[in-house]
């Protein structure tokens, strides 16, 4: 009997080894190296030998390649189209990653139900009945969407040859397995092989393929990094599962910018596109409450007004607590130190809690000034004026630093009816006769005069 050929792969980064070892040399992770059976495929192809689909590729001079012939497919979802850079590119492979339960299957099923093209939704995770039940909540009337529950790639391609769909969706890449490789589904060599087959299929037939990928605890797409290198576009679906907002962003995009962002709201009947996020993220209260401040942030290319809430109270225990939701806790500590040193606030014996409303995470430094204003307001127990908003970074010496694309932020604040926006003195602004008052400040002490 022929000896079974095996090799060792790091399950974290995909590096191959001839023998087992405890730590991966490449990514330095421990206990990630696993033995996998490999068998060189005689013919690693998506087509069966009798296939009639044959579109051999020939070299073309670059100027002769016609790009206009292949317009992008409209996904009939403005947020999704925008993140992809204007629609789905024929023949492209898109990977959608996200935590379990965040709504990946819902998003792609919803898109396949909206498309007027023939769509094949392949699920290795749920039965046809389960998918049908979900589809009924979203959009029960669609005659172009086919559901297949299958995990073997060879069987999937057999069905594809019969059906000839315009777009293929795979839920998820970790459940697929190919006959050419003997190791179990979800292992590095299976993921690599299945993705290679799908890429071949997509490029040869110009059919776009959307893949769902699971992510690990630390937020990486489970499986090798190579998977992210192989596909054309990597999308990340994120949000707090206990909140309704979901953010779709592109981490890699061969056909467009990675600055775009899509926002959805999870509802009983699927995901709703949020076209004017700012209006939803700021609560419209009549009462003025202390500890609330609004920041004019940018998420990707979109301006987004976000509400920051702070609570400062006397510490009950010896060590004061500092906690931040949706904001970097280290940055919060830094801002507290700046307030203590530069503005003379004794916050050392106080608990400080900070929350970005809506369950979203912000890493735009322009939120700093709003965080500082919210903390000051809560500390003094005095509400800020409701129609104030902030857009500036705070430096270590208490200086108010300029932020990028400040004019776009000002225009958004003006549109939403804010009366005053606080920005850095060092921002160059050439806006003429705007209705909003632009308050320029240079030091944190300047802010203190306005808010407390």
Known binding-site residue numbers: 98-105
Q: Which two structure tokens, joined as six digits, stand for 59? A: 């070299």
Q: Give CA–CA dist 373/451, Å, rounded.
A: 7
CB 105 within 8 A of CB 112: no
Question: Least CB distance from residue 207 to Mg ion, whole Å?
Answer: 22
CB 309 within 8 A of CB 352: no
Task: Choose which of 82, 104, 114, 192 interacts with ligand TYD (CB under 6 A).
Answer: 104
Question: Which residues have a Cβ under 8 Å from the Cβ of 391 and sit 6 or more positions away?
Answer: 295, 296, 297, 366, 369, 370, 403, 406, 409, 410, 413, 421, 422, 423
How many other CB atoms sit within 10 Å of the CB of residue 397? Answer: 10
The one segment of 27-35, 103-111, 144-152, 414-422 that binds ligand TYD by CB under 6 A: 103-111
Q: Does 140 bind ligand TYD (CB under 6 A)?
A: no
Q: Which residue has tokens 């995901």?
A: 271
Three-class secondary structure of residue 70 per DSSP = coil
Work out the angle between the directed axes of helices 368-380 and 329-343 (0-180°, nearest 10): 60
Considering beta carbons, is residue 105 or 110 the nearer one to Mg ion? 105
Considering beta carbons, is residue 169 or 441 the nearer one to ligand TYD? 169
Considering beta carbons, is residue 135 or 374 the nearer one to ligand TYD? 135
Considering beta carbons, is residue 98 or 223 the nearer one to ligand TYD? 98
Considering beta carbons, is residue 237 or 418 the nearer one to ligand TYD? 237
Task: Choose which of 51, 184, 269, 321 interacts with ligand TYD (CB under 6 A).
Answer: 269
The one segment of 48-56, 266-274, 277-285, 326-334 that binds ligand TYD by CB under 6 A: 266-274
DSSP letters along 423-451, please?
A: EETTS-----S-SSEEEEE-BHHHHHHHH
Considering beta carbons, is residue 113 or 391 the nearer one to ligand TYD? 113
Task: Choose which of 105, 174, 183, 278 interacts with ligand TYD (CB under 6 A).
Answer: 105
Q: Does 246 bind ligand TYD (CB under 6 A)?
A: no
Q: Does 251 bind ligand TYD (CB under 6 A)?
A: no
Task: Choose which of 5, 129, 132, 137 interacts with ligand TYD (CB under 6 A).
Answer: 137
Question: Which residues have a Cβ under 8 Å from the Cβ of 63 and sit 6 or more positions away?
Answer: none
268 binds, among Mg ion, ligand TYD, none (CB under 5 to 8 A by kind): ligand TYD
Question: Which residues have a Cβ under 8 Å from the Cβ of 439 and sit 6 or more positions away?
Answer: 420, 421, 422, 423, 450
Q: Give CA–CA dist 279/305, Å, rounded.
A: 8
98 binds, among Mg ion, ligand TYD, none (CB under 5 to 8 A by kind): ligand TYD
Q: Does 102 bind ligand TYD (CB under 6 A)?
A: yes
Question: Which residues have a Cβ under 8 Å from the Cβ of 353 and sit 6 or more positions away?
Answer: 310, 311, 321, 322, 323, 324
CB 299 within 8 A of CB 261: yes
The residue number whose beta carbon is nearest to Mg ion equals 105
Q: Give CA–CA dist 137/67, Å, rounded.
A: 38
Considering beta carbons, is residue 177 or 214 the nearer one to ligand TYD? 214
Q: Does 268 bind ligand TYD (CB under 6 A)?
A: yes
Task: Choose which of 22, 49, 59, 101 interacts with ligand TYD (CB under 6 A).
Answer: 101
Q: Does 124 bind ligand TYD (CB under 6 A)?
A: no
Size of the site for ligand TYD (CB under 6 A): 15
Considering beta carbons, is residue 85 or 223 the nearer one to Mg ion? 223
Annotated binding site for ATP: 98-105
Task: Choose which of 266, 294, 339, 369 interacts with ligand TYD (CB under 6 A).
Answer: 266
Question: Least CB distance from residue 375 to Mg ion, whole Å?
Answer: 40
Q: Does 270 bind ligand TYD (CB under 6 A)?
A: yes
Find the DSSP H helices in 259-385: 277-281, 329-343, 368-380
| Burial (CB count within 10 angstroms: exposed 0-12, middle 13-18, buried 19+), residue 168 | buried
DSSP letters along 8-29, please?
A: EEETTT--EESS--SB-TTT--
The one segment of 11-19, 134-142, 364-372, 411-419 that binds ligand TYD by CB under 6 A: 134-142
Write out the residues near Mg ion by the rule CB under 5 A: 105
Considering beta carbons, is residue 121 or 327 the nearer one to ligand TYD? 121
Q: Does 100 bind ligand TYD (CB under 6 A)?
A: yes
Question: Least CB distance from residue 247 to ligand TYD, whole Å?
Answer: 14
367 binds, among Mg ion, ligand TYD, none (CB under 5 to 8 A by kind): none
CB 179 within 8 A of CB 197: no
Question: Least CB distance from residue 296 to Mg ion, whole Å?
Answer: 35
Long-range contacts of 411-416 (CB under 8 A, 24+ apart): 411/303, 412/278, 412/296, 412/303, 412/304, 412/305, 413/296, 413/305, 413/389, 416/278, 416/279, 416/282, 416/305
Q: Which residues bind ligand TYD (CB under 6 A)?
A: 98, 100-106, 134, 137-138, 266, 268-270
């Amino acid at each position: 009997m022929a000896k079974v050929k095996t090799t060792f792969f790091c399950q974290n980064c995909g590096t191959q080894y001839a023998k087992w070892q405890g730590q991966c040399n490449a990514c330095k992770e421990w206990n990630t190296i696993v033995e996998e059976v490999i068998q060189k495929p005689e013919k690693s192809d998506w087509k069966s030998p009798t296939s009639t689909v044959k579109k051999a590729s020939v070299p073309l001079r670059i100027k002769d390649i016609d790009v206009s012939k292949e317009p992008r497919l409209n996904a009939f979802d403005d947020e999704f189209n925008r993140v992809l850079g204007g629609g789905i590119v024929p023949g492209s492979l898109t990977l959608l990653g996200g935590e379990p339960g965040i709504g990946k299957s819902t998003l792609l099923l919803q898109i396949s139900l909206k498309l007027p093209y023939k769509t094949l939704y392949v699920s290795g995770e749920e039965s046809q009945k389960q998918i049908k039940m979900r589809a009924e909540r979203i959009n029960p009337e669609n005659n172009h969407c086919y559901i297949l529950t299958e995990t073997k790639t060879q069987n999937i391609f057999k069905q594809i040859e019969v059906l000839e769909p315009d777009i293929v969706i795979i839920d998820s890449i970790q459940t697929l397995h190919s006959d050419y490789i003997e190791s179990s589904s979800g292992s590095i060599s299976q993921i690599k092989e299945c993705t290679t087959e799908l890429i071949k299929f997509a490029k040869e037939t110009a059919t776009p393929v959307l893949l769902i990928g699971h992510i690990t605890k630390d937020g990486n797409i489970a499986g090798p990094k190579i998977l992210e290198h192989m596909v054309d576009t990597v999308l990340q679906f994120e949000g707090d599962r206990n909140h309704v907002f979901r953010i779709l962003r592109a981490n890699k995009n061969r056909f467009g910018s990675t600055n775009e962002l899509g926002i959805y709201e999870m509802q009983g009947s699927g995901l709703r596109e949020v076209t004017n996020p700012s209006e939803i993220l700021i609560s419209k209260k009549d009462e003025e409450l202390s500890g609330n401040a609004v920041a004019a942030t940018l998420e990707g290319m979109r301006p987004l007004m976000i509400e920051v809430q702070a609570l400062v109270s006397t510490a009950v225990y010896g060590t004061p607590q500092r906690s931040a939701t949706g904001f970097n806790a280290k940055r919060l500590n830094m801002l507290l130190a700046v307030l203590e040193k530069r503005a003379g606030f004794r916050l050392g014996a106080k608990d400080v809690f900070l929350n970005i409303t809506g369950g979203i995470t912000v890493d735009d430094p322009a939120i700093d000034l709003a965080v500082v204003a919210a903390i000051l307001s809560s500390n003094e127990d005095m509400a800020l004026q409701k129609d104030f908003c902030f857009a500036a970074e705070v430096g270590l010496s208490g200086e108010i630093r300029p932020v990028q694309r400040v004019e776009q932020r000002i225009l958004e604040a003006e549109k939403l009816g804010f009366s005053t926006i606080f920005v850095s003195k060092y921002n160059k602004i050439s806006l003429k006769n705007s209705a909003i008052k632009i308050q320029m400040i240079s030091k944190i002490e300047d802010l203190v005069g306005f808010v407390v």
